[in-house]
């Protein structure tokens, strides 16, 4: 739990980018319903990535949704976006209303427990464009989300609550890395949705 209610207008970063944490944006019962629906209905698959020339299958599972005819290439693999489910479309509409941004795709991540996380990275692929807004919605177990400045090494962390929204905007992806650290304390699953605006469908 965050001790103070989130202020969506407060910038969590001291410089070189904008991160707004809205806290929970769905009533708890609706957030529970979305979590169960996402766990059951999404065709979760292990992610295949190329790292240091090796083919790696991740422990966490992923799925990719978007407006029709999107394909997306990263780390040497090409993915085809699935069409929005009614629940994802509803979540997207709520996020678009709060952020004032339109999104055309979403990467879903399933962390089965605290033994799974995401390493330091930034979402700065050329397909996303510069100064893109990424809206991150979390359901299930609360996990720490950390940002680290590429040059100064300064870090900022926030606990992402069940049903919460975090926005990364402006120059954030150019100057800051982010990660979801592994933790022994968490034994329950978490689903994260990152809504993105890709430059074009192919
Ligand atoms: O799970 C999260 O909160 C972060 C996910 C993320 O950084 C990504 O999908 O690029
Ligand atoms: Fe990311």
Residues within 5 Å of ion ligand 2, judged at the Cβ atom = 123
Q: What is the pLDDT of residue 202?
A: 47
Query: What does the CA dihedral 149, 13, 73, 113 come to, rounded to 10 degrees?
Result: 90
Spell out, as residue ranges, where the chain has pLDDT lower than 50: 201-202
Q: What is the pLDDT of residue 74?
A: 65
Q: Between vectors from CA 15 to CA 124 and to CA 119, what angle results, nearest 5°?
A: 40
Cα 16 to Cα 145, 149, 159: the distances in Å are: 18, 9, 21
Task: Give the pLDDT of residue 127.
Answer: 77
Pocket residues for ligand 1 (CB within 6 Å)? Answer: 107, 109, 118, 123, 136, 145, 160, 178, 180, 192, 194
Residue with the smallest CA separation from ligand 1 atom 1 is 192
Domain positions in the chain are 18-196
Phi/psi for 173 (5° steps) reads -70, -25
Longest dimension (CA), the chain: 45
Question: What CATH code would you report for 18-196?
Answer: 2.60.120.590
ipTM higher than the 0.85 cut: yes
Q: How far is the CA of 107 from the centre of ligand 2 (A)?
A: 9
What's the confidence (pLDDT) of residue 4?
73
The DSSP-derived string for 7-56 is -TTS-S-SSSSEEEEEEE-S-HHHHHHHHHHHHHHS--EEEEEEETTEEE
Question: What is the rounded CA–CA span in Å between residue 67 and residue 82?
Answer: 8
Q: Crossing angle for the helix pair 86-99 and 28-41, nearest 10 degrees?
A: 130
Burial 165-197, CB ≥16 within 10 A → b, else e:
bbbbbbebbebbbbbbebeeebeebbbbbbbbb
């Amino acid at each position: 739990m965050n001790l103070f209610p989130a202020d969506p207008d407060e910038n969590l970063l001291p410089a070189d980018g904008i991160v707004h944490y809205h806290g929970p944006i769905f009533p708890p019962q609706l957030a529970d319903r979305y979590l169960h629906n996402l766990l059951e209905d999404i065709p979760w698959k292990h992610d295949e990535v190329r790292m240091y020339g090796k083919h790696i299958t991740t422990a966490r599972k992923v799925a990719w949704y978007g407006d029709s005819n999107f394909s997306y290439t990263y780390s040497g693999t090409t993915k085809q976006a699935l069409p929005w489910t009614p629940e994802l479309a509803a979540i997207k509409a709520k996020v678009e209303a709060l952020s004032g941004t339109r999104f055309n795709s979403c990467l879903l991540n399933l962390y089965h427990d605290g033994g799974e996380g995401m390493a330091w990275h930034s979402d700065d692929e050329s397909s996303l464009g510069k100064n893109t807004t990424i809206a991150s919605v979390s359901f299930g177990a609360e996990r720490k989300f950390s940002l680290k400045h590429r040059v100064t090494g300064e870090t900022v962390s926030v606990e992402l609550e069940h049903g919460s929204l975090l926005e990364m905007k402006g120059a954030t992806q150019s100057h800051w890395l982010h990660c979801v650290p592994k933790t022994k304390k968490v034994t329950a699953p978490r689903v994260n949705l990152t809504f993105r605006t890709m430059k074009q469908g192919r």
